Amino acid sequence: MSCSCLRTHRVKPYETCIFCAHKHIAAALALRDESSLVGQLILASWHYRDDFPEMEAACIECAERIERAEPYRDSLAALCIRAWQMVLDNQESKAVYAAKSADDPMPFAPDAVAAHRAVAAANALHHELNYRNINASVTIGQLIIAAWHFDEGHHELAVKCRECWQKIERLKSCREELEALQRAAWEAVKANR
């Protein structure tokens, strides 16, 4: 997704950007596939994490509702309205936020939900129009995190994560493999509800 902010470079996945965050939330609102929806919300939360912790928390809370199979459409619609209002308010102030880099701590325990979030985020990053090369490193990182979470309980999915990140490293397409991996990861989440 192209960004409308005033930066002179393409926004990276962990940089604060209310425009990018809003686009991910708006995409989530348009999606019906709950697994992909979680991926978009995770990406939006990354764009909020350094400067807007309340919006980051709202994105995560909405993703958690989906993962628990609870009603989420109203809270997602409200979140989208809040995100859009931030964009509109920014048109007055023209604020540009400093680029920061922060990663989640290294996972130590098997966790199908965390693994699914990482795979869904990787898939969303890999499919982002005109950003695939820029996002490649973070996509690989998310697949590595997913593999760590999958390794004990779902070793076969950990292996598929590795196969995907190796394809990305060799600059080969893995769209179909990522889609299948995301579906399998979502099934693992649903099996643990």
Ordered alpha helix ranges (H), 53-131: 53-67, 73-93, 112-127
Q: Is 155 exposed, middle or buried (0-12, 13-18, 19+ CB in 10 A)?
A: exposed
Whether 185 and 120 have beta carbons less than 8 Å apart is answered as yes
Position 130, amino acid? N
Per-residue DSSP letter, 142: H
Residue with tokens 């950990």: 158
Cβ neighbour number for residue 69 with a 10 Å cutoff = 11
Q: Is 64 a domain residue? A: yes
- What is residue 8's predicted lDDT score, i.e. its pLDDT? 64
Whether 174 and 161 have beta carbons less than 8 Å apart is answered as no
Q: Which residues contact 117 (CB under 8 A, 6 or more apart)?
A: 38, 39, 42, 63
Q: Is 32 a domain residue? A: yes
Same domain, 170 and 131: yes
Digitized pLDDT (tens) for each residue of the chain, 193 residues in all: 445 566 666 778 888 889 889 989 988 888 888 999 999 999 999 999 999 999 999 999 999 999 999 999 999 999 999 999 998 888 766 655 544 444 444 555 789 999 999 999 999 999 887 777 778 878 888 998 899 899 889 999 999 999 999 998 888 889 999 999 999 999 999 998 8
Residue with tokens 């996509």: 139
Same domain, 187 and 116: yes
Same domain, 134 and 74: no
Q: Distance (Å, rounded) from C-alpha 161 to C-alpha 120?
A: 12
Same domain, 25 and 60: yes
Q: Distance (Å, rounded) from C-alpha 58 to C-alpha 72?
A: 11
Strand, helix or coil for residue 176: helix
- What is residue 159's predicted lDDT score, i.e. its pLDDT? 96
Q: What is the pTM of this model?
A: 0.70
Count of structural domains, the chain: 2
Q: Is 10 a domain residue? A: no
* Six token digits for residue 181: 């991996």
- What is residue 91's predicted lDDT score, i.e. its pLDDT? 73
Structural domain range at position 77: 18-93
